[in-house]
Amino acid sequence: MYNRILIANRGEIALRIIRACREMGIETVAVFSEADRGSAYLDLADEAICVGPAKSAQSYLKIDQIISAAEVGNVEAIHPGYGFLAENAHFNEVCRSCKIDFIGPTPEAMDLLGDKNRAREIARKAKVPVVPGSGGLITDEAEALKVAHEIGFPVLIKATAGGGGKGMRVAANDLVLQTAIQQAQTEAQAAFGNAGVYLEKYIERPRHVEVQVIADLHGNAVHLWERECSTQRRHQKLIEESPAPNLPQETREAICSAAVRLIESVNYTNAGTVEFIVDQENNFYFIEVNARIQVEHPVTEMVTGIDLIRAQISVAAGEPLPFDQSAVVQHGSAIECRINAENPDRNFQPSPGPITQIFTPGGLGVRFESHVHPGYVVPPHYDSMIGKLIVHQPTRREAIACMLRALDELRVEGIHTTASFHKKVLQHSEFVEGWVDTSFVERVFLTK
Partner 1 sequence: MAESESSGGVFDEQRFLRIVELMKEHDLSEVELRDSEQRISIKRGGTPAAPLTAPSVAAPASAPAAGSSQPAAAAEDPNVVVVKSPMVGTFYSKPNPKAASFVKVGDHVDPETTICIIEAMKVFNEIPAEISGKVVAVLATDEEAVEFGKPLFKIDTSG
Contacting residues toward partner 1, per CB under 8 A: 33-40, 43, 49-54, 59, 64-65, 67-69, 71-73, 98, 354, 356-357, 359, 373-377, 379, 411, 413
Q: Considering CB distances under 5 to 8 angstroms, the limit depending on partner class, which of its own copies, partner 1, none binds residue 376? A: partner 1
Which ranges in 167-233 belong to alpha helices (H)?
Answer: 174-192
Please report how close the Cβ of residue 294 comes to its own copies at its closest, in angstroms.
15
Residues 6+ apart with CB under 8 A from 355: 372, 373, 374, 375, 376, 377, 378, 386, 412, 413, 414, 415
Compare residues 127 and 411 and give the one whose CB is closer to partner 1: 411
Q: 292 an active-site residue?
A: yes
Q: To 5 degrees, how large is the angle CA 275–CA 200–CA 440?
A: 55
Q: In Å, what is the CA distance from 119 to each residue of 86, 135, 274, 282, 397?
A: 18, 14, 11, 22, 37
Q: If you ran DSSP here, which 8-state letter would residue 130 be given? A: B
Compare residues 332 and 374 and give the one whose CB is closer to partner 1: 374
Compare residues 40 and 190 and give the one whose CB is closer to its own copies: 40
Which of 238, 326, 230, 310 has its CA nearest to residue 271? 310
Q: Considering CB distances under 5 to 8 angstroms, the limit depending on partner class, which of its own copies, partner 1, none binds residue 360? A: its own copies
Please report how close the Cβ of residue 387 comes to its own copies at its closest, in angstroms.
9
Please report how close the Cβ of residue 419 comes to partner 1 at its closest, in angstroms.
14
Compare residues 39 and 333 and give the one whose CB is closer to partner 1: 39
Q: Considering CB distances under 5 to 8 angstroms, the limit depending on partner class, which of partner 1, its own copies, none binds residue 71? A: partner 1
Q: Considering CB distances under 5 to 8 angstroms, the limit depending on partner class, which of its own copies, partner 1, none binds residue 370? A: its own copies
Question: How far apart are alpha carbons 167 and 179 in whole angstroms?
Answer: 13
Q: Considering CB distances under 5 to 8 angstroms, the limit depending on partner class, which of its own copies, partner 1, none binds residue 364? A: its own copies
Compare residues 53 and 434 and give the one whose CB is closer to partner 1: 53
The sign of the torsion formed by the CA atoms of 12, 13, 16, 17 equals negative
Please report how close the Cβ of residue 165 comes to its own copies at its closest, in angstroms.
40
Q: If you ran DSSP here, which 8-state letter would residue 105 be given? A: S
Alpha carbon distance, N-terminus to C-terminus of the chain: 55
Residues 6+ apart with CB under 8 A from 37: 50
For the chain, the residue count is: 448
Please tell me which residue in 292, 338, 367, 396 is annotated as part of the active site: 292
Question: How far apart are alpha carbons 424 and 220 in whole angstroms?
Answer: 42
Cα 70 → chain centroid = 26
Please report how close the Cβ of residue 390 comes to its own copies at its closest, in angstroms.
9
Whole-number CA gyration radius for the chain: 23
Task: Name 281's bridge partners.
Answer: none
The residues of the shown chain that bind its own copies, judged by CB under 8 A, are 15-16, 19-20, 22-25, 40, 44, 298, 301, 305, 307, 331-332, 357, 359-360, 362-370, 373-375, 393-394, 398, 401-402, 404-405, 408-409
Which of 91, 72, 74 has its CA nearest to residue 9? 91
Q: Considering CB distances under 5 to 8 angstroms, the limit depending on partner class, which of its own copies, partner 1, none binds residue 324? A: none
Please report how close the Cβ of residue 340 comes to its own copies at its closest, in angstroms.
18
Catalytic residue IDs:
292
